[in-house]
Structure 1
């Protein structure tokens, strides 16, 4: 077991995180504020939620599953431009009556809360405190999306994979009996490769190298990080 400030900080964060996560907080807010204007819809893996250039009239909250943003290049090949995780919202173009620039697609089976945009506007106009909180949330989401898009464009395959795992650490991470960091994932390696614009073979090679070097261990639905410093190096 290594000893570092980085490891100590992560352990403290995971051990002291509240039982109610950010996902639970926003789920409760959505269900309370929009009980009559919100539908819970299941989208199957690969199903389009919003198509590029479509002018939608809803805002979406990811309750479970993952949503990927896609576009097609000049050759017609579809590629990932980012993704949304549980606890995040998308569809904000509907607030300004603009068509979407991307396709929104279910990477896995997804449970989404679909909220009427006009209802959101009305609630925000009625509640100044809610409006301020909404604006802060929107800024954070846009920051996350921009960071993911930048990493997909400029980052290498390994750094893209590392960042993807780290994003899951807070809500889906824990410390096991040996003091190792365990991150639960609801996606396969093939799905991770797809969302990160790499081949399954490339990602398998990255994972195999990390396992060989004693940095991680993997099973079907989790990654155990043995050496966090080398993992993020």
Structure 2
């Protein structure tokens, strides 16, 4: 993992609208750019931070893909989320000043490092930035609630359908196709996140393909019938 002392120009970043408040003025934006002293590159399989590490910064994903995970009592890795460009990592460390999970790169990635003490100070000066931070935290809470709903009340088909729809919608917001994607995570990691066994994940992918809902070639997935996926999520109209 390399540290690069490269100044980050937020004003010219193509992820600006996803990552920072749109309403910041030129002076406020200049101060925010000064706050971000460098970017950090993390190679595929490398760790951005580990559970128990001291919390010092938030990380805005500039490129690449991450998973967050915790180690269970019996030593298994439980995936708690997947993060992509324009999303924020490290919020888990705010409460206890140390990270409660680990963030691992699923492909070569780069993040902007935002020292939290300076970010907090700046947010007190700019209400727009403070409001944006609150929105980010709220979004994480809502996402956690969504995962609890997936694990608590949905069957296998509903879980995978909701996961695929959410993923392709997030990618589309970043300029990618709204029907095609390359999964950066393994089937096993998807199963860990959705509370499903590997065989169940593979079987459900196959069933969706047989039904003409998706096309799958290894990690490439093309959604052929998004409405069918949405109906599965809304009504659970398949027999598990």
> Could you tell me the TM-score, scaled by structure 2's length?
0.71
TM-aligned CA deviation for residue 150 of structure 1: 4.3
> Aligned pair in 2 of structure 1 residues 74, 141: CA closer, same or farther (>3 Å)?
closer
Q: Is the alpha carbon distance of 1:140 and 1:36 closer, same or farther for their aligned partners in structure 2, counting shifts above 3 Å? A: closer
Aligned to 1:138: 137
Give per-residue Cα distances to partners, 1:36-91, cap 9 Å, x unaligned.
53422121233222222222101011222332222222211111123323221122
- Residue of structure 2 equivalent to 1:25: 17
Matched residues, number: 208
SS at match of 1:113: strand
Task: Provide the residue aligned with 2:39 in structure 1.
Answer: 40
Q: What is the root-mean-square deviation in Å for CA atoms of aligned residues?
A: 3.2
Q: Is 110-119 or 190-199 further displaced after alignment?
A: 190-199
Give the Cα separation in 2 of the matches to 1:185 and 1:136: 29
Q: Identify which of 216, 221, 224 aligns with 2:222.
A: 224
What corresponds to 1:202 in structure 2?
A: 200
Superposition deviation, residue 212 in structure 1:
0.9
Question: In the aligned structure 2, how far is the partner of 1:110 from the partner of 1:152?
Answer: 29
Q: Normalising by the residue count of structure 1, what TM-score does the alignment of the two structures yield?
A: 0.73
Distance 1:75 1:168, change over 3 A: closer
Secondary structure of 2:179's aligned partner:
strand
Q: Distance in 2 between matches of 1:112 and 1:186?
A: 20
Q: Secondary structure at the match of 1:62?
A: strand
Q: Contact (CA 8 Å) 1:44, 1:109: kept in 2 or not? A: yes
- Runs of 5+ in structure 2 lacking a partner? 1-13, 23-28, 233-240
Is the CA contact 1:69–1:80 (under 8 Å) kept in the aligned structure 2?
yes
Aligned to 1:34, what secondary structure does the other structure show? helix
Q: 1:111 to 1:155 in 2, by over 3 A?
A: farther
User: Which ranges of structure 1 fall in alignment gaps of 5 or more residues?
Assistant: 1-21, 175-179
Deviations 1:116-141 (A, max 9, x none): 11220121011122212221232123
Q: Does structure 2 retain, via aligned residues, the 8 Å contact 1:181–1:226?
A: no
Partner of 1:63: 62
Q: Which structure has the higher relative contact order (CA within 8 Å, separation 6+)? A: 1
